[in-house]
Amino acid sequence: MAARKKNSTYTRNEAHIIECDLTYAVNKINGRWKILIISKLESGKMRFGEIKKEFPYMTERMLTLQLRAMEQDGLVKRMVYAEVPPRVEYELTEMALAFGPIFKQLSEWGGKYRLP
């Protein structure tokens, strides 16, 4: 793949976008399932299987990818317990919990302005 020019329009736009706090926040939760996973984990720690049951149409692979991305982004803590069989739980970080009131407002907005 060819390298982008440092002075290309794309590169300049990307640099400007990265500096925007709103874009940063939206990119943290960007993804088909992340908001829904966060909303389920707001009630507390959950195991992988418990999360999977909440989303029967999401594949295990997709859930794994989303949880890994959320862990890398600092939204989810993954706790592995030294037990047989192994037990893994997922919990929201303080950063993810801060989205709670924002999601509530977005949900209210969606209910108010959803087109029939």
Yes or no: say if 39 and 96 are a contact pair by the CB < 8 Å rule: no
Report the topology of domain 33-110: Arc Repressor Mutant, subunit A (1.10.10)
DSSP state, 37?
H
Each residue's pLDDT tens digit, 56-99 = 999 999 999 999 999 999 999 999 999 998 899 999 999 999 99
pLDDT above 60 (res 1): no
The mean per-residue pLDDT over the stretch 33-59 comes to 97
Instruction: Give the pLDDT of residue 77.
Output: 98
Residue 68, token pair as written in the block? 């890994």
pLDDT at 5: 66
Task: Name the helix (H) or strand (E) containing 65.
Answer: helix 60-72
E-only strand ranges, 37-106: 46-47, 76-81, 87-92
Question: What pLDDT score was predicted for residue 3?
Answer: 67
Q: What is the pLDDT of residue 4?
A: 60
- pLDDT of 18 strictly over 80: no
